């Protein structure tokens, strides 16, 4: 039996990061070890402390006062990608995310000077830039200019990029082509309202987020067009904000709550059949709004969470209008962790894609093993993220596919960056990009 919902807010007075977690969550784990084969860090390192059951044991021991929260213990917990593949594998129904997430937030608050909020990269880049689309879009103009003149290639070839701090080097390597072609990568902002085509079947809101709206706005447009083709009025509420995942997963709970409340205000102003998300990480965060904070606004956040649907999940339930155009390609589908594990959405994207004429979809070995993106993990834990990216690309090669489809912005960036690094020519796209091409009778 699953544990009742607990208050994930830590008790700073006790200096015990497990004090705010309902102890029954720990007891759900029977330490059978069936989760270990699904855990990316355990598969790569073979260290029991880097397995789900090992981390649960560490958290429980710290909570019990049997183990100090040493630097080594913190390190094992911080190395977790929070991919939640262990939840899928667990026969006992352990809700691992409801352990690791509040525990790491508490570690930030009761820490001994190792807080991420005091780190320049978190404070200025991850917290100060990424969650704000306008700021991020403006900050990328130098990169656009450098790419247009191919100065980025000169900087890489001459070693100038190595003068940057390591995490900025990694960030630069992750950037996709930032072409100035407005029809391809940045077709401009979405209007507030896009009408359904044909008979209206639903009225939905589209969540646009932060990084996704800057780097994948073309996918937002594709998503909106696919929804229109399926008889949906699409509303893009103004005033919506970052989902809060960037802050929350780095242990900064209060700023994440402020973003959540901004989204509640933006999406509660109108009545929608569903709130549509096309980024797996954002969808998982939005669906957990009612769990993360226990205060007077909790019910309002839960009401929003109850309406959140991944776009593949929603279209599969609605019944996809048959895509008419042939898309001739051999493709493989990578399961984004926060879609397959956190939201339990696996078969729906595949069912949609298999309805596209001409598309050959091949199964990807270890599809549900994390690619190493994990939100901003690939920037803060480059060694482990790199190992997982190389593993993922090797599996992609085994399929013989030239198109990789995945439903999360972080996965799209991570796999594309590794492909560029290894000189592998692949197209990495979102399911909505492919469906949109079929409806518009265009090739990839």
| Tens digit of each residue's pLDDT (9 = 90 or more) over 14-34 | 578 998 899 999 999 999 999
Nearest to 277 by CA among 250, 242, 247, 302: 242
In three-state secondary structure terms, 113 is coil
Give the separation between CA 301 and CA 306, rounded to whole angstroms. Answer: 9
Position 401 scores a pLDDT of 97
Q: 255, 286, 316 — which closes off a domain?
A: 316
For residue 84, the enclosing domain spans: 12-114
Model confidence at 5, in pLDDT bands (50, 70, 90)? very low
Give the model's pLDDT for residue 212.
95
In a domain, 210, yes or no: yes
The pair of structure tokens assigned to 213 is 């709206």
- 185, part of any domain: no
Per-residue pLDDT reduced to its tens digit, 430-440? 999 999 999 99
Both 140 and 212 in a single domain?
A: no
How much is the pLDDT for 113?
58
Distance CA 191, CA 412 (A): 25
For the chain, the domain total comes to 4
Domain match, 95 and 129 both: no
For residues 74 and 162, membership in a common domain is answered with no
DSSP string, 336-401: -HHHHTSS---HHHHHHHTTSTTEEEEPPTTTTS--S-TTTHHHH-HHHHHHHHHHHHHHHHHHT-
Place of tokens 């103009």: 141
337 and 371 assigned to the same domain: yes
Residues 238 and 268 placed together within one structural domain of the fold: yes
Residues 371 and 358 in one domain: yes
Residue 234 counted as domain residue: yes
- Residue 10: which pLDDT band, with cuts at 50, 70 and 90? very low
- Residue at 368 is within a domain: yes
Predicted confidence (pLDDT) at residue 336 exceeds the cutoff of 70 = yes
Quote the percentage of the chain above a pLDDT of 90: 75
Using pLDDT thresholds of 50, 70 and 90, give the confidence band for residue 143: confident
Q: What angle do CA 258, 409, 414 make, to 5 degrees?
A: 120
pLDDT at 325 over 90: yes
Q: Would residue 181 count as lying in a domain?
A: no
Does 63 share its domain with 30?
Answer: yes
Same domain as 268, residue 375: no
Tell me the pLDDT tens digit for each residue of 151-174: 877 877 788 877 888 888 888 888
Of 316, 346, 371, the position where a domain reaches its end is: 316
> What is the per-residue pLDDT across 173-204, written as a single tens digit (0 to 9) for each?
888 887 644 445 568 899 999 999 999 999 99
Of 66, 41, 124, 21, give the one whose Cα is nearest residue 337: 41
What is the per-residue pLDDT for 183?
43
**Same structural domain for residues 354 and 382?**
yes
Judge whether 180 lies within some domain.
no
- Flag the least confident range among 24-38, 112-126, 235-249, 250-264: 112-126
Identify the domain boundary among 106, 140, 174.
174
How far apart (Å, rounded) are the C-alpha atoms in residues 321 and 226?
A: 9
Query: 46 and 144: one domain?
Result: no
**pLDDT tens, 361-394?**
999 999 999 999 998 889 889 899 999 999 999 9
What percent of the chain lies above the pLDDT cut of 70?
Answer: 93
Tell me if 5 is assigned to some domain: no
Is the distance from CB of 235 to CB of 200 less than 8 angstroms?
no
- Are 166 and 258 part of one and the same domain? no
Average pLDDT, integer, range 400-406: 97
CATH number at residue 379: 3.40.50
Q: Are 325 and 312 part of one and the same domain? A: no
- Mean pLDDT along residues 336-359: 97
Q: Is residue 169 part of a domain?
A: yes
Is residue 263 within 8 A of residue 234, CB to CB? The reply is no
Residue 93, domain CATH:
1.10.1060.10
CA dihedral 288, 289, 291, 295 (to 10 degrees): 180
The neighbour count for residue 236, using CB atoms within 10 Å, is: 17
Reported as a single tens digit per residue, the pLDDT across 69-123 is 999 999 999 999 999 999 999 999 999 999 999 999 888 887 665 666 678 888 8
């Amino acid at each position: 039996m699953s544990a009742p919902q607990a208050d994930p807010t830590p008790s700073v007075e006790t200096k015990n990061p497990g004090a705010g977690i309902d102890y029954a969550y720990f007891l759900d784990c029977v330490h059978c070890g069936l989760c270990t084969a699904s855990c990316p860090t355990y598969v790569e390192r073979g260290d029991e402390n880097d397995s789900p059951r090992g981390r649960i044991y560490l958290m429980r021991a710290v909570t019990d006062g049997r183990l100090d929260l040493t630097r080594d213990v913190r390190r094992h917990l911080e190395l977790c990608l929070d991919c939640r593949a262990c939840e899928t594998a667990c026969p006992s129904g352990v809700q691992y995310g409801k352990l690791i997430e509040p525990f790491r937030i508490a570690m930030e608050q009761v820490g001994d000077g190792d807080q991420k909020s005091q780190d320049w990269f978190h404070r200025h880049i991850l917290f100060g830039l990424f969650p704000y689309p306008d700021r991020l879009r403006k900050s990328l103009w130098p990169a656009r200019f450098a790419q247009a003149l191919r100065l980025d290639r000169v900087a890489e070839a001459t070693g100038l990029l190595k003068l940057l701090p390591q995490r900025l080097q990694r960030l630069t390597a992750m950037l996709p082509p930032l072409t100035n072609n407005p029809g391809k990568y940045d077709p401009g902002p979405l209007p507030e309202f896009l009408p359904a085509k044909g008979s209206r079947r639903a009225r939905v809101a589209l969540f646009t987020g932060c990084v996704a709206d800057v780097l994948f706005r073309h996918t937002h447009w594709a998503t909106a067009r696919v929804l229109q083709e399926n008889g949906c009025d699409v509303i893009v509420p103004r005033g919506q904000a970052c989902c809060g995942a960037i802050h929350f997963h780095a242990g900064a709970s209060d700023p994440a709550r402020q973003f959540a409340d901004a989204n509640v205000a933006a999406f509660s102003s109108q009545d929608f059949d569903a709130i549509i998300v096309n980024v797996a990480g954002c969808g998982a965060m939005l669906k957990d709004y009612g769990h993360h904070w226990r205060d007077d606004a909790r019910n309002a956040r839960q009401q929003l969470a109850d309406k959140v649907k991944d776009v593949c999940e929603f279209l599969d339930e609605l019944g996809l209008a048959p895509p008419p155009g042939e898309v001739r390609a051999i493709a493989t589908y990578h399961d984004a962790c926060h879609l397959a594990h956190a939201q339990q959405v696996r078969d729906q994207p595949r069912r949609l894609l298999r309805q596209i004429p001409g598309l050959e979809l091949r199964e990807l070995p270890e599809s549900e093993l994390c690619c190493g993106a994990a939100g901003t993990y690939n920037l803060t834990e480059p060694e482990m993220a790199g190992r997982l990216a190389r593993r993922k690309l090797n599996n992609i090669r085994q399929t013989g596919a030239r198109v990789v489809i995945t439903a999360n912005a972080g996965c799209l960036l991570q796999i594309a960056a590794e492909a560029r690094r290894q000189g592998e020519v692949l197209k990495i796209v979102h399911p909505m990009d492919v469906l949109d091409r079929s409806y518009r009778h265009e090739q990839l």
